Structure 1
């Protein structure tokens, strides 16, 4: 069985690692007639294509930047950031194998049998966040009117921005995808015309307190999906450095992907392979890896210049709020 771990110690670039891993995985999949490994191989090639096609990334980020300019014009008093990234190779590999483990485990728990190959392949057609953008807004307290509560006003502005985003991007070659969040409460601040497209984790906060708005678009020019997240600074702090931080989220996912108590070993090759790949990936000692443009002191102190672990940054824009006395009534 081919594993990403086996390619992380030769000093190669991330693109070389992707090329070698996908080529060897494809060769092995053909020899063993493993169709899920072929799907896996195509997934890796998709990541490699995202990383190499700088022209389409430049086009996409430029169209996203137009919304940034629109916000700077309409909301000069807000502070906000636009950030974009391509999911890291290690994170993407863990997520792909994790989906296989979770889907087969849940299916077996419910039905006492394994999903068919077409069902499993269809379940893996779910990756929409390999490219993700995040808009974070903040309202400086000097701009509050008497009696206003900052958090409430920021949420109002956040929904305003969300209401404008869909039509703005659809006019520039993006198509919004319907939300897969079932039975969600609807905020009265989100327009009826755009509500079906948003996963509203503000009106429907997660058990850990995570709050955000998520929407998925298909970029018809670049021919790829992107996810856009919208948060206030308070929500972003809670998600990045607070109780809902990504490390905790990853630990929860690792725990879910380490389940195999109801799945007998040796009965399902797709589950066994994905489970093993996921487990050994969790056990990586990052300080021992030899990947070009990546170094780590340990599993916390990491300097990643290639998107191996942290993700590849593709869009940093920051807008500082204008001073109160600069505003024109």
Structure 2
């Protein structure tokens, strides 16, 4: 069985690793008539093309910057940041195999049989976040009027910005993708026009849980999908360094992807291979890897210059709160 781990000790560049992995995986998939591994190859080709032909990201980020300029003019009193990243190869590979494992496991537990190849393919068609942007806002307390609550004001502005975003980007060559009822918003602050496009992880989650608004766009120029997340600073703190931080999220995912008690070995090749690939990735000793532009002392101290493990930052913008007529004596 071909796994990504087999290519991470050669000293190659990230692109060379990807090309070799895709080539060998495709050859094996054709020999074994493994349709899911052919889907896997197509998934990896998307990452390869994104890394090889990324000139469009300059044009894309300029369009995103237009919304940044809009916000700076419309909300000079808010502090906010715009960030963008391309998903890392290891995270993407973990996610692909994790989707296969979770879907087959849950399907088998519910129906007592394995899903068809077409059903697995349908489950794997939902990757839309290779490219993701995040907008984080904060209302400085010094700009609050008497009686105003920080969280309430930030929420009001966050949803107001969310209402404007789809139409703004559609005028610049993007198409908002329907959320198809996933995490449908019940917030009265989200307009009826914008509601079908957002996955709202705020309205039904507590402040200690993960909270964010997610929307997916199709970039008609580059013919690629991208995700935009909108949060307040407090939501971002909870997601990054608080109770819903990514490490906790990863541990939950890891626990779900370690399940195989209900699936007998050897009955479902798609489950067995995805499970093995996932387990091997979870057991990586990052300090032992030899990938160009990547270095690690251990699994916590990492210097990733190629987007292998942490992804690649593509857009840092920061707006500091101000008032146009503020004068400090």
What is the TM-score normalised by the length of structure 2? Answer: 0.97
Distance 1:180 1:236 in 2: 25
Paired residues of 1:81 and 1:319 also in contact (CA < 8 A): yes
Query: What's 2:148 paired with?
Result: 148
Distance 1:183 1:65, change over 3 A: closer
TM-superposed deviation, 1:185: 4.5
Distance 1:206 1:256 in 2: 22
Distance 1:117 1:69 in 2: 46
Q: How does 1:45-124 map to 2 (within 5 A)?
A: 45-124=45-124
Q: 1:143-172: per-residue Cα shift (whole Å, max 9, x none)?
A: 111111111111111011101101001111
Larger displacement relative to structure 2 (58-67 or 271-280): 58-67
Gaps of 5+ in 2: none
What is the TM-score normalised by the length of structure 1? Answer: 0.97
Distance 2:284 2:92 in 1: 15
Distance 1:268 1:115 in 2: 10
**SS in structure 2 of the partner of residue 179 of structure 1:** coil
Runs of 4+ in 1 over 4 A off after TM superposition: none
Paired residues of 1:180 and 1:199 also in contact (CA < 8 A): no
Paired residues of 1:211 and 1:231 also in contact (CA < 8 A): yes
Distance 1:208 1:105, change over 3 A: farther
Distance 1:83 1:183, change over 3 A: closer
Query: What's 1:224 paired with?
Result: 224
Q: How does 1:34-53 map to 2 (within 5 A)?
A: 34-53=34-53
Distance 1:31 1:103 in 2: 25
Paired residues of 2:76 and 2:324 also in contact (CA < 8 A): no
Q: How does 1:123-272 map to 2 (within 5 A)?
A: 123-182=123-182, 184-205=184-205, 209-272=209-272
Query: What's 2:16 paired with?
Result: 16
Paired residues of 2:136 and 2:232 also in contact (CA < 8 A): yes
Distance 1:85 1:185, change over 3 A: closer
Gaps of 5+ in 1: none
TM-superposed deviation, 1:234: 0.4
Query: What's 2:317 paired with?
Result: 317
